[in-house]
Amino acid sequence: TALAHAALTGADRRERPYHLVVSAGIAGGFQPAAPPGSLVVSSAIVAADLGAETPDGYLAVEELGFGRSVHPVPGALTGRVAAALAAGG
C-alpha cells in the first residue's frame, strides 16, 4: 500500500532502521500443498500480474521496461524465517 511504502522509504527509516520486512496476506494459490491456514516461506517475490494488457496480448513488466517481476529472496534469510516459524510451533 502507499502507506506501507511511505513508512518504509521515508525519513523515519534513518532513525529506526529495519532488518526484515514481512509481507503477509491471504492467498489460495498453493492448493493442495498448502491448504488455508498454512504458513508459506517464499524463495521469491513474484508479481505475476504486474504488466499491461495490449491489443496483441499481455505484456509483463519486463517487456514494458519497468524492471522485473521476480525478486529472489536470499536463501539464508528464508531459512532463518522458516526455522523461527517451526520453532514457534
Model confidence at 52: pLDDT above 90: yes
Residue 32 lies in a domain: yes
Residue 73 lies in a domain: yes
Structural domain harbouring 78: 26-87
Residue type present at position 26: I
Q: Residue 60 pairs with which residues in a beta bridge?
A: 51
Model confidence at 77: pLDDT above 70: yes
Residue 54 lies in a domain: yes
What pLDDT was estimated at residue 57?
95
pTM of the predicted protein model: 0.57
Residue 3 lies in a domain: no
- Would the CA dihedral through 74, 32, 36, 58 be positive or negative? positive
Q: Which of 27-41, 47-61, 68-82 has the lowest mean pLDDT?
A: 27-41
Residue 81 lies in a domain: yes
> Comparing 66 with 3, which gets the higher pLDDT?
66
Residue 20 lies in a domain: no
Count of the separate structural domains present in the chain: 1
> Comparing 67 with 10, which gets the higher pLDDT?
67
What pLDDT was estimated at residue 9?
63
